Structure 1
Amino acid sequence: MRGMLLGLCIAAIAAPALADKVGITKDMMSVTVTTPGGAVEIKRNQDPDARLGEPWTKTSRPCPNFCIQPMTPAPGVTTIGELEVLEFLKSGEALLVDGRVRPQYEQGTIPGAMSVPYTEAADRLEEFGCEVDFDGWICEGEVPSVVLFCNGPWCGQSPTAARRMIEAGFPAEKIYYYRGGMQSWNMLGLTVVPGGS
């Protein structure tokens, strides 16, 4: 009888915990962003038993090419985390740029991200407010901030994009690097959408 009573007490205590939603922060359950395909609500997976799927569970990729990236890919670039990415998405004060190759973007990306593969970043600066010049690019005045990301701390695609953009004339202080990328985004159970949706 005591065992049954103890079990009921434990169940009664645990029930409210199971009813709690998985929030982004204690005060933020979700963020709704406008994308070309319409509004998308970004929230964490509500299943407390959820696990990462492939390829995000893989921890050891051969270096090179998959070497751990520095915290800051170039002088002047600011490294940020998920909450800052969400704040940029809410405010619309920056362009979110998926620097991965197009097939990776199409498989799944952060809602609101545009695809600019790292191999094209320095050639597409007009999309970031720069003007073509005979000697390259003029990136003066009100160029927007750009948040670059790729697959995670072992992925060199967005750090390469940042360095190439700076070499082409884009101001480093307008570049933000989400180092955690898709691996951290997926690890936290945040919303992922097919690229271009």
Structure 2
Amino acid sequence: MKLLVLTFALTLAPGLAQAESQVGISKQMPTVTVDTSDGPVEIGRIQDTTNEISGEWARTSRPCPEFCIQPMTPAEGAATIGELELIEMLQDPEAVVVDSRTYDWFKGGTIPGAVSIPYDRIVDELGQLGCEADFDGWDCTTAKRVALFCNGIWCGQSPTAIRNMIQANYPADRISYYRGGMQVWRLLGLTVTGD
């Protein structure tokens, strides 16, 4: 009798099982739309619950040096954030999310709304982040809130960029580090733009 009632209930409410199995970003946030230079992009998670990462992103071991596990905090005063905080920054028109990887990596797929400023050029590009060039280097009194990321917890590109920014007078308290980077973003099945 119980099996008959359950079968009848599922027949009457086919959308119920589907709604419960939706893969959302959080309980309150199934998806989010962010503005990008190419127009609005909806960030969501891959709905296939059997999906697995593959290729470069599935590799767990890389030679150290150069691919060594990065510290949780790349520099004193900079904040380490997760995916939800990064998504919040992507929605903030006053904040900038920086993909600090080299341009070939950026072109191969990035977080929607991120701008490409390679780690080895970040100090030359501080004008994009609200600083003004002066005779002593950079005046960053009007610097924007920024979040930097690279390939993952083994990638030193964003930590290097963050330390170089601070050395060039960028306020550490306006810098966030998304330590998980592209590897964790992809592991969570979140939307990627690019090739």
* TM-score (ref. length: structure 1): 0.89
Cα offset for 1:91?
2.4
Aligned-pair identity (%): 56
* 1:26 aligned residue: 27
- Secondary structure of the 1:60 match is coil
* 1:184 aligned residue: 184
Cα offset for 1:134?
1.7
Cα offset for 1:94?
1.3
CA distance in 1, matches of 2:46, 2:87: 16
* 2:132 aligned residue: 131
Gapped regions of structure 1 (runs ≥ 5): none
Q: Deviations over 1:15-72 (max 9, x none)?
A: 7545521011111111101111011000000111111021110000000110000000
CA distance in 1, matches of 2:93, 2:153: 25
CA distance in 2, matches of 1:112, 1:18: 30
- Secondary structure of the 2:162 match is helix
- Secondary structure of the 2:154 match is coil
CA distance in 1, matches of 2:17, 2:74: 41
Q: Deviations over 1:64-85 (max 9, x none)?
A: 1100000000000000000000
- Secondary structure of the 2:96 match is strand
- Secondary structure of the 1:32 match is strand
Cα offset for 1:175?
0.3
CA distance in 2, matches of 1:114, 1:184: 19
* TM-score (ref. length: structure 2): 0.90
Cα offset for 1:93?
3.5
User: What is the root-mean-square deviation in Å for CA atoms of aligned residues?
Assistant: 2.0
Cα offset for 1:92?
2.4
CA distance in 1, matches of 2:194, 2:74: 27
CA distance in 2, matches of 1:66, 1:137: 31
CA distance in 1, matches of 2:94, 2:185: 20
* 2:46 aligned residue: 45
Gapped regions of structure 2 (runs ≥ 5): none
Which residue identity lines up with residue 174 of structure 2 in the other structure?
K
Does residue 79 (structure 1) correspond to residue 111 (structure 2)? The answer is no
Q: Deviations over 1:163-190 (max 9, x none)?
A: 0011111111110000000001000000
* 1:171 aligned residue: 171
> Between Structure 1 and Structure 2, how many residues are aligned?
188
CA distance in 1, matches of 2:92, 2:130: 18
Q: Deviations over 1:96-130 (max 9, x none)?
A: 00000000000000000000000000111111111
- Secondary structure of the 1:55 match is helix
Alignment of 1:45-194 (within 5 A): 45-140=46-141, 142-194=142-194
Cα offset for 1:89?
1.2
**Moved >6 Å (runs of 4+):** none
CA distance in 2, matches of 1:135, 1:73: 25
